[in-house]
Amino acid sequence: MTRLEALYKSKIVPSLKEQCQCQNIMQVPRMEKIVVSMGVGRAIAEKKLLDGAMKDLADIVGQKPVLCPAKRSVSNFKLREGMPIGTKVTLRRDRMYEFLDRLISLAVPRVRDFRGLNPKGFDGRGNYSMGLTEQSVFPEIDPDKIVAVQGMNIAMVTSAANNDDALKLLKMFGMPFRDQENN
């Protein structure tokens, strides 16, 4: 059992059950999955950038990513439907908690000029999305071996019914959100 999973079961569940007025512990919001994706638009011209992004993403999350093909053709970008243009990984259970722990404790504090995560990244259904501008904030990535600086999107899917419950859950995990009034 990972550190965050143990924290969730021992402290977060009883606290959230009381705060959210849940009748049963199965109604308490929980993390369901984390999807980490990289869109590599420059891979149209240089195929090796996609290989570098796949290697970096695999090093970061500890799981093999899948290629994401383009959904439609765009002639201005010389993009054809079906061309590999990105990569993604869906994390669940232990790997999800391990990644979340490394994201909160190691990667986010290494972001330049960090003033807290934007609390407006929720979608209305309790899911939170955020982006990082470069993959080098993770300690698994060697800055000397980076093929190209690449950003990534991180989507955290929770079972919360609304944004407020999901915000409480992520704050209890230790996500450093900035204050609402200082946006």
DSSP calls for 47-64? THHHHHHHHHHHHHHSS-
Per the DSSP assignment, residues forming a β-bridge with 120 are none
**pLDDT for the residue numbered 112:** 79
**Does 33 have pLDDT greater than 90?**
yes
Class of domain 30-176: alpha beta
**Does 44 have pLDDT greater than 70?**
no
Length of the chain: 183
| Ramachandran category for residue 66: left, alpha or beta (phi over 0 → left; psi -120 to 50 → alpha) | beta
What is the residue type of 25? I
pTM: 0.82
64-103 per-position pLDDT tens digit: 999 888 777 777 677 677 777 889 999 998 889 998 888 8
Looking at the chain, which runs of residues are DSSP E strands? Answer: 31-39, 66-69, 84-91, 128-132, 152-158
Helix locations, the chain, DSSP H = 3-7, 13-19, 48-61, 93-102, 163-173
Confidence of residue 181 (pLDDT cuts 50, 70, 90): low
Share of the chain above pLDDT 70, in %: 95
Could you give the CA distance from residue 156 to residue 5 in angstroms, rounded to a whole number?
A: 15
Domain ranges of the chain: 30-176
More confident residue, 90 or 183: 90
Confidence of residue 48 (pLDDT cuts 50, 70, 90): confident
